């Protein structure tokens, strides 16, 4: 359910296929940002791990391990969501091609 601002005020409009496709494309953009953030988290964890190994500080090794583990979990979650979102977008594309 959505509302649209018009000159006559707010009006309701349905969640039709164009709106669903638009929502999926927006979600894809959001997931891409999350994927980039997870990648940066992994990179930071790897850098900290290397520095901690060189300095032989076990506390920093543990911290780096936590960052790496968090990054891996986030990557797996985002990857799963992206696959589902891509499948839904592909379905819309396929349906549109069949109609045209």
The predicted-structure confidence for 59-74, as pLDDT tens digits, reads as follows 999 999 999 999 999 9
Residue 14 lies in a domain: no
The predicted-structure confidence for 16-63, as pLDDT tens digits, reads as follows 677 788 888 999 999 999 999 999 999 999 999 999 999 999 999 999
Whether 48 and 39 have beta carbons less than 8 Å apart is answered as no
> What's the pLDDT band for 14 if we cut at 50, 70, 90?
low
CA distances from 31 to 15, 23, 24, 77, 82 (A): 21, 12, 10, 10, 7
Residue 89 lies in a domain: yes
Residue 60 lies in a domain: yes
Residue 79 lies in a domain: yes
């Amino acid at each position: 359910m959505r509302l649209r601002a018009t000159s006559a005020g707010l009006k309701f409009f349905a969640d039709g296929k164009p709106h669903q496709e638009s929502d999926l494309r927006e979600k894809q953009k959001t997931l891409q940002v999350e994927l980039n953030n997870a990648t940066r988290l992994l990179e930071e964890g790897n850098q900290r791990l290397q520095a901690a190994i060189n300095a032989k500080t076990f506390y920093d090794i543990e911290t780096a391990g936590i960052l790496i583990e968090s990054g891996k979990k986030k990557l797996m979650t985002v990857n799963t969501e992206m696959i589902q979102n891509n499948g839904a977008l592909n379905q819309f594309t396929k349906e549109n091609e069949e109609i045209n």
